[in-house]
Amino acid sequence: MIYLTRELVEKYKKGERRLSLDLGKSITIITNELEGVPLEEIKGEFVYAWDGKELWKVAVFDNGLYRLRMMKGKPILEIDGLRMHLLKDFEDVLEYSEQVAKKLKIGNQDIVLDTCMGLGYTAIAAAKKARKVVTVELSPAVIAMAKWNPWSQKLFESQNIKIVEEESCSEYIGVLEKGEFTKIIHDPPRFSKAGELYSGEFYRNLRKVCKKGGLLFHYVGGFGKEKRDIGREVAFRLEKSGWKVTRRDNRLQGLIAEAV
């Protein structure tokens, strides 16, 4: 399987032969790898896959268009044109996830819950040091994008990552025992798309499954940039749900809270 973009094809047509056929993970010196590929069909900002016989867009329509798109040399997930990654102030697509894991001080005894998997970059970053990471993803379309993405393969290969597929995080944590996790990463869709993931009930359930003294990172977006200050509302609900907000991180656009 090789992956192609319009930018790669343009470089190839200009004579470049040191190119990446796996979305930036490695460099190949092109000889005959692109023979038979209908390069004229590669258009727009889509990522394409070629299996030697068929060329297709790495995209799925499921009540919206889900697709991979290259940004800063790595794939991101877009849903209806909205980027599901924080790129501002970061030179690398993966840096945000690595910084979240660093801020939570994840170590080899930690059991981590990642509530919204996406392409799994944050789960993979956490799993570098954690004893175990459980990551939850409701959308079959998102899971499909992760399975196609070369940068997400550690999700499916790592022994210390468990994926809970096609189940909402609310349902999943609702039946768990108390104190199963020491660290929680909560990077939900925007409030207008998934208001239940910002509710007091959900935060109380997160507190239930987190050990006392455990840490939560909650992405909320830019603080106070809209008429409605979601960050302030989130902090208020967390404080009412067994959490103590200890930090607002402007670069990561999120809150860090301790289970009390």
Question: Which of the 8 DSSP states describes residue 190?
Answer: P
- Give the predicted TM-score (pTM) of the model: 0.93
Which one, of 153, 169, 152, 144, lies nearest residue 66 by Cα? 144
Asked whether the predicted pLDDT for residue 155 surpasses 80, the reply is yes
Query: What count of Cα atoms within 13 Å lies in the side-chain half-sphere of residue 235?
Result: 16
The CATH superfamily of 95-259 is Vaccinia Virus protein VP39 (3.40.50.150)
pLDDT of residue 224: 56
Q: What is the mean pLDDT of residues 153-174?
A: 94
Q: Tens digit of pLDDT for each residue in 206-236? A: 999 999 999 999 999 876 555 678 889 999 9
Cα 24–Cα 28–Cα 30 angle in degrees, nearest 5:
125
Are 216 and 188 a contacting pair, CB within 8 Å? no
63 vs 198: CA distance, rounded Å = 22
The domain locations on the chain are 2-83, 95-259
Q: How confident is the model at residue 195 (pLDDT cuts 50, 70, 90)?
A: confident
User: What is the average pLDDT value for the chain, to the nearest integer?
Assistant: 95
221 vs 229: CA distance, rounded Å = 10
pLDDT of residue 75: 97
Q: How confident is the model at residue 4 (pLDDT cuts 50, 70, 90)?
A: very high
pLDDT of residue 166: 84
pLDDT of residue 109: 97
Q: How many CB atoms lie within 10 A of CB 187?
A: 24
Distances (CA, A) of 78 to 45, 65, 67, 148: 11, 8, 5, 14
Q: Is 154 left (phi over 0), alpha (psi -120 to 50) or beta?
A: alpha
Q: Tens digit of pLDDT for each residue in 23-73? A: 999 999 999 999 999 999 999 999 999 999 999 999 999 999 999 999 999
